[in-house]
Every structure is written in C-alpha cells, then in structure tokens.
A and B are shown apart, each in its own frame.
Chain A
C-alpha cells in the first residue's frame, strides 16, 4: 500500500474506534488510495483538499449520531443496547442544548414542581405517615374525655376515675398515667430548672421504654406519701452526673427535697417530649426528669381534670373496642358518683399517632394536595412546552420515518431525551426540595410535631427522581410520539398540525386556570403579608422593645407559706431596685400579658336574672414599678404602691376594658373606690384549691393591653393586684436595661444567688421574641401561601409562554405567508398577542371571581385589612396580565421575525 494509504490508516487508528476500523477500515483506506492517486495528478492543492476532507470525514463519522448505528452494524453486528443508550443520552443532551430557553424553562418548571413535592411529601411522611419511634406504636392509645353539652373536648381523666379504668380494663394490657412536672435542680454547676413528668409505675413499660440503668417506679412508690425517688433522662445523666453508672442510689435535690435516683433512661425520642408538652409541663418540654405521680393525686376529686392516660392495647383489642369500654366506664362512673362527677362526659380513646399529629396531619394533607396540584399544573406546562418541541421536530421525524426509521427507534430516542430532561429537572428539584425543607423546618412553628424527624432520605430521592422522569416522559414523549406517528407525507406537505381543536381549547383552559390560581394566591399572599405587617406593627399598649424577662420558681418545701414567699419577693425587689446597671425593673406573678383567669363578683351589680354579677378575667399580681417599667399608662386613680401589703386592705387596679365591662355606665375616674370580690389561685401551686374570695377596692384604672400577635381586635379586661398581697410561688422579672439584652439579667442572677443560691433563673427571653413566637403560625402560613403564590405566577407565565409558542410553531407557515403577502412584523406580533392573551385575560377574570368567593374565608385570617382591598387586588390582577403579556410577547416577537421564504420552503 502507498505511503498515503499508510498515513490514512494512522489517522484512522487515532480518530476511529476499533469497531469502526474493523467494519470499514480496509474499504475506506483502499478508496482513499484511489482518490489520492487521482488527486496527485491534479496538483498539490487538490491533494491537500482531499486530506482535509478525509480527516474531517473521519472525525465527523466518529462522533456523528446520524447513521452511526447502521454504520457500525454493517459488519460488526448490531450495536449493543448499552452503546445505543449511551449514544441516545449524548444525543439527548445535544438536542436539549439546542433550545436553551425552552430547555431551561422546562427544567426549571419541573424542578419547581418536583422540589415542592419532595419537601411537602417529606414533611408529610415524617409527620403523618411514618410510625412513631416506639415499640409497636400502633397499639398505643390515649384515653381522654369529651363533654359535648359544655363543648369541652380532650380533657384528662381525674385520678380516681383512672384508678377505676386501671382496675377494670380488659382492652388495655398496660396503662400508664402521667402529668406535667418541672423542678429546681441543685447540681454541681449551680441551680437549674429541669422538666419532665410525673409518671405512674408502668408508664415507661407501657411505652416500651426500658431504663438503661436501674429500674422503673414500682407500685409501692406509686402512692400517696411514697418515697421520694426519681428517674433521670439520658441527657441530664450525661450533663449533671458525667454519665457515671454509680448514680443509682444517689440523691438528687429537686425543689429542695432530696430524691433517690432509681434509674436512668436511654435517649428518648422527641415524641416523648411532645407527649409531655401536650400535658403542659410548662417551659422547655424535655424528658429530663421523672418522679412518681403527685402524692396528692389520690385525694383529688373525680370532677377535676387530672392526668394523661396512655394505654397499650391488649392483643385481642382494637381502638374501637377500647373506645367502647371507656365510654361504658365513663357512663357507669357518672351514675355511681353522680354527686361528685357530673354530667354528660363521654370517654374517648384515640391512637397515640392521632393524639400527637392530629390537626397538623390534616393540615399537611392539604399542603400535600396543593403540592400535588402544583405538580399537575407543571405537567400541563410541560405538555405545552414539549408539544412545541415535538411539532418543531415533526419534520425531522417524518423524514426519518419515511426513510425507514421505525417507531421503536424513535421511541427510544424520545424516551431517553425525556429521561435526560426529567433527570436534570429531578436533580435540580431535589436540591430545591432539600433547601425548601431546611427553610420550612427552620421557619415552622415550634409546635409542629415531629420536627426533628424530618429529613430527606433515599426513598424520597427515588420518589422524586421517579416522579420527575415519569412526568417528563408522560408529557414529553407522548406528544413527540403522537407527532411521529402521523403520516410523514402529511407532515411534510401540510407542516405541523397541533392538537385537535378540543385539545387546544383544553390546553388554553388550563392556562386560564393557572392564571386564575396565580391571581388568587398572589392576592391572598399579599393580603396575608400586609396583615402580618399590621400585626407586627400593632400597638400592644405596653413596652415590648428592650424588655427582658426571666422566671424564678420558689419550692413549696422552702417557702411553705405566704410570709416566706413575700419575704423573698421583698428581698429580691429591694436588691434589684438598689442595683446599678439596671434601667428599670418590675416583678409579676406571671409573664405579661398573662395570669390565671379568675372569677370575681362585681359588688353592687347583678346579671339579667337578678343574681350577683360574676365575671372571669385574668388576674396578675405585680410590684409597684410594674406600670412604669412596662409603660402601661395610668388613666385614673393611682397605681400599686409599696404600702399595698398584707396589712392594708386588698387593692386592685383594673384596665379600662375591665372597667367598661364591670361598670359600663361610669367614667373611669368614678369607679375608684368600688369593690371587686375575688380570691386567688395561688394556693393551687401548693396543691390546694382557690382561696376564699374577699372584697378588694379599685384604686386605679390603667390603659388596655393585648397579647402581641393576637388578631383579636378587642383588648382583654385585666385585673392587677399587689404582689405583696398575693405572693405567688412563681415570679417573673421584667427588666428594661441599658446593656446588651442578655447581660441585663446578670444582676438579677447575682441578687438571687445572694438571697437563695438554690433558686435558678430560667426561661430568659425578651418580650419581643416571645411575641414573635406567638405569631409564628401566622408568619408560617403567610410564607407558605407566599411560596405557592410565587410558584403559581411562574407556572402561569410558563404556561402562557408555552401555549403561545406552541401556536406560533404550528402557524409558522401561515405567518410566513402573511408576511410574504405584506403583513408587517408588528402586525403579526399584535395579532398573536391578541389571541395569546385571551386565555390569561379570561383566567384573570375567573381568578377575580374566585377570589371574591374565597375572600370571606380569608377575612378570618386577616388583621386590619379587608380582603377586597382595591390597592391589593387591582395591582395583583394587572401584574398577572402584565406577566402573561410578557410571556406572550417573547414567542410573538420571534414569530414576527419569521423569514417568509424560510417558512414557505420548510
């Protein structure tokens, strides 16, 4: 062979794969030799041209897609499916990169739909679907009671009634009883507040939790006057006892009383914290500490609401049979103890899952449904966008079909292409879903159950990617295949033909629907955002900014009576008032606004039936500095003073709302000196009942306050008493200082340590952040709706774009003809804009109507803004139309640039 032939073979060895060389190498080289011989006769430039052509030929045949399979298959047998697939994937990438705009829109839309679904599904599954992390959780049930007549629901059973249930139940194999508990713990690092629960013997066994050290409480410890023992949680064991195994038998001081540690729990699921939180243990709901049930419990009356009951169903029992048993027992108890326990109470047994997840699960179901319908709209959009591509490629398909490419071959390529699109969208969507999830978890209200269990995992990844690929295949490949199935001749002669007339109008209708939905969501979310702003900006009637608060609880054992408690209050107040570095400081029995609702008689007034008038209002015991520190304005009379102590007559200061409620016809100044007859709930903290009511004199009237974040327009009536006359075991300190917010409490801690080093200062938080937590639910709802609104706008825009681009693609020939016949580019785009905007405009109209329908429901969520606010609804509507116009304009402009000759030739 000639030198030229050798060189060609060398080039071939570099540029061609072995299989190509084996199949065609000899023939190609032989042909090259002949061509080279011809060329050399014609001169050097011809030879160079041949070389250039041949090298390019080698390269292009090596990498080209078209005809490659056949090329390979001629000699070396059929290419394997794997190679085919790889090539199709490559082709898929090339195909989608040809149309970057459409492709990126498709992928983004898909990613949005998929991301939202991944996040929603993950939350839903973690909260609602997955089993609670406990032993046989489906057999755990919670026993409560309802009173339909008094409209009370989900009340706890009293201790004596629980005793009857435990004694007689055949449906539960184990029953655990628990209640709230928190105590001051004196550890090596100083005092701290710990929380947990009072539990009966068998509580942990019922849940299936076994102590890792020691044992659970015995029945002997589970009784009135039983020994002081405690079980400690894993975290507390590590933190306070350095995880020492010899902790069993040691004493731990709780509320100044030594308790013997009998056991240590394994790390417990957060669900247990949630369970305890639902039992209202107070501050931080963590399962750190367990003590036996309140020794006083046995003395409690049948009519009080007592303890949480959790039962493990016996092997033969069902929720329904246990429910029936509880109802029967409850009916029997009300007959037997009619004097003590009455009336209309029904027993209720629900699954632990329902108890923990309940309403949130139902709300999440709604979110998942919304997310799913978003995905449905995404699919509609994909259908529109990919139909455009399909019709654009109709010609290519037709040619390939007519020269013999079979539907199976085309199907494979289309499927691969759709899968590539789907995979890209899916991966992007997964990333989006993960960050959405993070945002969702960080913004969710604290009381969203099972928050800690939420995480993306393998099955969600699979679910998401499968969803993406299925969506893109169903809505990408199907139109392409339908286009490919059409008679090639017709495609080539008539040009692309779109959906049937009915299909096209369905598509337009769906786009209108998208616009309508977007409008409703945008309007709603704008209103919610404005409402939230109003809520945040509302004047609560007292100072919030710069006020820090912290709490102190006095143990009953150390402070057995009002004198002891009052002494501590006085000592603390004196020290704080004399301490430098504190701007102003006040104390109250509870956080503000707060305080137990207290029933009081209004002296000299009667209700409609002529009986003395009683009203229930929150009552708070405060120090003299309270109104100044919190800037609650004095309207009439005087505030609380230092001389309002136990030796003076009971004084009360009322809010204007309280004054208006008790004495509606009198001016604030004229009610000074009137009397309210009230007791106090403070003995309740010592395990007692309410104090007998005494007459109190109204000495002043102050301005109204309301709970921050509360949507109630009316302010609460309020009654203030002197802390010196109502010395509670709980004290909340309010500080308005100069230093950094956290430093401000240090003088309080120091003062407290000097007076009683066993008392911890806890729940240190600014009023502002307390208020923010109060409105976290509103903020979350506003954010969620806002997120969906953004999504809806994007979808509506993409949908509009897709349908118009589709019709442009279908009408290229017609547009070309029009232009050839003298239509101007601007005329063409105007015409397209007109037709393209029909669906969005109709959608906007429908959206306005739909919004008018949902606005009454929305109104209940709004604060100081009406749903039909013109300033919101009209811009939202115009914005939608503007977005739709833009989405129409892009393809319309492209159509107006159609080259008439090109359009006709194609």
Chain B
C-alpha cells in the first residue's frame, strides 16, 4: 500500500491528531496514551478502550505509527505494548499543524479585513 508523501497536507480526525500529538513526545503504551490525551485536550477528549485500539489499528495500517517491541523497554515489567510515531507519522503531524496554522492565518486576515471594510 502506498504511503503518504511527506509534503502532503491532510486534515486529520481530532482523535487521530491527539494520539499522534501525544506520541510525538515519545513511545507510549495504551493507558498512557489515554491519560495524555485526556490531559492534553483539557478533558475534552476521553478515549475509551475500544475506540483507542481502533484508532491505533487504523493509524498503524496507514503507516503513521508503529508498535515498538516491548523488549526495547526492559524496565516495563508488564511487557506492555508501546506505540511510537513513524517518520511518516511525524511528517503528517507537522503538515497538519502547518495547515491549521495557514487556515487560522487566512481566517484571521479575512475577518480582520471584513471588520475594517
């Protein structure tokens, strides 16, 4: 399946965006992702287990995140599964942020113009 190219900009589902954003800070396991997303969205996005794993599966299939072998984390006694951003994932995230910035700027300038006219 062809992967997205780095310079492509896309709008992401809010949940996917948040998951990618928390993973930008480093590999996390499922529970940590739910906690981080909760905090990061100031409690507006609470993930339930089923939707979390569905989102992770989708993002994995799209090649935006990958599972990290638990053996990479010998400290985790429970050998939980960790997820981290792929290169594509991190590009996607950056592009999305860029796109949002552009849009905000566009809306700002236009609304300002309208207020002044």
Contacts and interface: CB of A to CB of B under 8 A. Distances in A.
B63 to A, nearest CB: 5
A821 to B, nearest CB: 8
Contacts of B63: 404
Contacts of B10: 398-399, 402-403, 488, 492
A615 interface: no
Interface string A63-91: 01011111101100000000000000000
B50 A404 contact: no
Interface in B29-63: 30-31, 34-35, 46, 48-55, 57-58, 60-63
Give the residue among B48, B63, B81 with the most A Cβ atoms within 10 A.
B48
A71 B46 contact: no
Given A31-B30, A488-B8, A904-B107, A406 B2 contact: yes
A1 to B, nearest CB: 14
Given A73-B57, A488-B10, A905-B103, A403 B4 contact: yes
B1 A404 contact: yes
A489 B8 contact: yes
Nearest to A58: B50
Given A404-B63, A904-B107, A61 B8 contact: no
A53 interface: yes
B34 A31 contact: yes
A489 B58 contact: no
B76 interface: no
B110 A67 contact: no
Interface string B75-117: 0000001000000000010000001000100110010001000
A28 interface: yes
Given A31-B31, A74-B60, A53 B1 contact: no
A21 to B, nearest CB: 11
B81 A27 contact: yes
B19 to A, nearest CB: 12
A57 B110 CA distance: 39
Contacts of A66: 58
A484 to B, nearest CB: 13
Interface residues of A, number: 45
B53 A402 contact: no
Contacts of A8: 49
B9 A492 contact: yes
A35 B49 CA distance: 9
A256 interface: no
Interface in A1-60: 8, 16, 24, 27-29, 31-32, 34-35, 38, 49-50, 53-54, 56-58, 60
A489 B9 contact: yes
A728 B6 CA distance: 101
Contacts of B1: 404-406, 409
A59 to B, nearest CB: 8
B58 A67 contact: yes
A61 B31 contact: no
A820 interface: yes
Given A398-B10, A404-B2, A405-B62, A67 B49 contact: no
A29 B2 contact: no
B28 interface: no
Contacts of A489: 7-9
Nearest to A24: B53
Contacts of B4: 401-404
Contacts of B103: 905
B54 A71 contact: yes
A32 B57 contact: no
A905 B106 CA distance: 10
Contact of A70 (B9, B61, B92, B99): B61
B110 to A, nearest CB: 7
A61 B9 contact: no
Contacts of A56: 48
B57 A492 contact: no
A35 B31 contact: yes
Contacts of A28: 49-50, 52-53
A61 B46 contact: no
Nearest to A60: B51
Interface in A801-843: 820
Given A406-B1, A488-B10, A31 B49 contact: yes
B110 A904 contact: yes
Nearest to A406: B1
A74 B83 CA distance: 14
A404 B1 CA distance: 7
A61 B114 contact: no
Contacts of A58: 48, 50
A71 B11 contact: no
B58 A54 contact: no
Given A57-B48, A57-B49, A905-B103, A64 B8 contact: no
Contact of A492 (B11, B51, B107): B11
Nearest to B3: A404
Nearest to B49: A28
A68 B48 contact: no
Contacts of B11: 399, 492
Contacts of A27: 30, 49, 53, 81
Nearest to B62: A404
Contacts of A38: 35
B12 A403 contact: yes
B64 interface: yes
Contacts of A401: 4
B57 A54 contact: no
A57 B50 contact: yes
B49 A29 contact: yes
Contacts of B8: 402, 488-489
Given A488-B8, A820-B114, A404 B61 contact: yes
A398 B46 CA distance: 28
A139 to B, nearest CB: 62
Contacts of B54: 61, 64, 67-68, 71
Contacts of B60: 70, 74
B102 to A, nearest CB: 9
Contacts of B58: 66-67, 70-71
Interface in A486-541: 488-489, 492-493
Contacts of B99: 492
Given A404-B2, A406-B2, 15 more contacts: A27-B49, A31-B34, A38-B35, A49-B46, A50-B48, A57-B51, A64-B54, A68-B54, A70-B62, A399-B11, A403-B10, A406-B1, A488-B8, A492-B9, A492-B99
Report, nearest first, the 8 A-B pairs whose CB atoms are least far apart. Answer: A67-B58, A57-B48, A70-B61, A402-B10, A404-B62, A28-B49, A57-B50, A71-B57
20 contacts: A27-B30, A31-B49, A31-B53, A35-B48, A35-B49, A38-B35, A50-B46, A58-B48, A60-B51, A64-B54, A67-B55, A70-B62, A399-B11, A403-B16, A403-B92, A404-B62, A405-B1, A489-B8, A492-B10, A904-B107
Interface of B: 1-4, 7-12, 16, 30-31, 34-35, 46, 48-55, 57-58, 60-64, 81, 92, 99, 103, 106-107, 110, 114
